Amino acid sequence: MMVAPGKGLLAADESTATAGKRLAQYGIQDTVETRRLYRELFLDASGIEQYLSGVILYEETTEESADSGTPFVKLLADKGILPGIKVDKGTEPFPGSAGELITNGLVGLSDRLECFAAEGLAFTKWRAVITIDGDKLPTPAAIVENAKRLATYACDAQKAGMVPILEPEVLLSGNHSRIRARDVIADTMKAVFAALEDQSVDLGGIIIKTSMALSGSGSGHPDTPEEVAESTLDALMKGVPPQVPGIVFLSGGQSPEQATDNLRAVARRAQALNAPWPLTFSYARALQEEAMELWRGDAANMPAARAAFLARLRKVSDAARGV
Ligand code: 13P
């Protein structure tokens, strides 16, 4: 269901701090109410169920309701959209390696998952961050520790009856080449699947969320969509076993147009290669950016902002089918 043809996920799981930063970017004051309206803009837009199989929520949003009074979790479920939740507790510096991060959130996770499942949340997400710095980073130690935590989380989520999305995000920032990004993604996936095997996680009940293999944003090298498709599929073919039922992409700082064009090229190449997994989107910024530009916190702009969101969703959904 999560990777049904032509459908994908909206990542609306910005932490409170990240949501505040997003609002500030568009000149909107950060309050509990503006964060709720930020969610309202996207979650109560009519027609999103044509394009979205699921939405990843942040804990704060699961306790809130739309203007209509309907809780956001119910609002999504009523539309036939699976509500999911980010369950990691964010990152902190990885001890012993300057510039690398490790994700927290395993303490008490099983109990939290039980509560989330009881609230009707169907799937979960854990984000790990992998940083590239020339040949120096990532270190094998950071990859392995992040992979182990992803596997422990996946095991706990499956025990709670929820599908885990495993997101080892290889950051776009840096001067590295697309080829270096490809190799880091492949190596990271290999470490993740080794850790999943150690923990006997059911590979038929997970979703992988990944970056595309792009040249670093500071490299000055713009990749063509065909180049991105080639390096991305190379990395995934090397690193992700065929029994995984779906792979979704984050946008990672690509513009809405870039994230759409690159997804289309990836989908076409996957079709040509007969790739074993359905591939689709799980974007935050690339789906939200144009709507946020128009909304800017003013209720009068809500209809235009929602129309822009729907238009982008349609394009991204087409792209996921290679159209
Ligand atoms: P972006 O699409 O903005 O990269 O966000 C997706 C996501 O879920 C990052 O954790």
pLDDT tens digits, 15-66? 999 999 999 999 999 999 999 999 999 999 999 999 999 999 999 999 999 9
Query: Is 136 considered catalytic here?
Result: no
| Residue 96, pLDDT score | 84
| Residue 58, pLDDT score | 98
Q: What is the mean pLDDT of the chain?
A: 98
Give residue-wise pLDDT tens across range 279-306.
999 999 999 999 999 999 999 999 999 9
Q: Active-site residue among 40, 100, 145, 167? A: 167
Model confidence at 208, pLDDT cuts 50, 70, 90, reads: very high
Identify which of 168, 178, 156, 164 has the alpha carbon closest to the alpha carbon of residue 123: 164
The DSSP element (H or E) to which 120 belongs, if any, is: none
Q: Is the CB of 285 under 6 A from ligand 1?
A: yes
Q: Is pLDDT above 90 for 6?
A: yes
| Residue 306, pLDDT score | 98
- Per-residue pLDDT averaged across 72-84, rounded? 98
Residue 204 corresponds to which tokens in the numbers above? Answer: 């038929």
Model confidence at 154, pLDDT cuts 50, 70, 90, reads: very high
Strand, helix or coil at 86?
strand
Indicate the pTM of the whole model: 0.98
Site to probe by mutation for ligand 1, drawn from 127, 170, 283, 289 as the one with most ligand atoms within 8 Å of Cβ, is: 283
Burial class (CB in 10 A: 0-12, 13-18, 19+), 69: exposed
Residue 145 and residue 151: Cα distance in Å, rounded?
A: 10
Phi-psi region of 90 (alpha: psi -120 to 50; beta: other; left: phi over 0): left
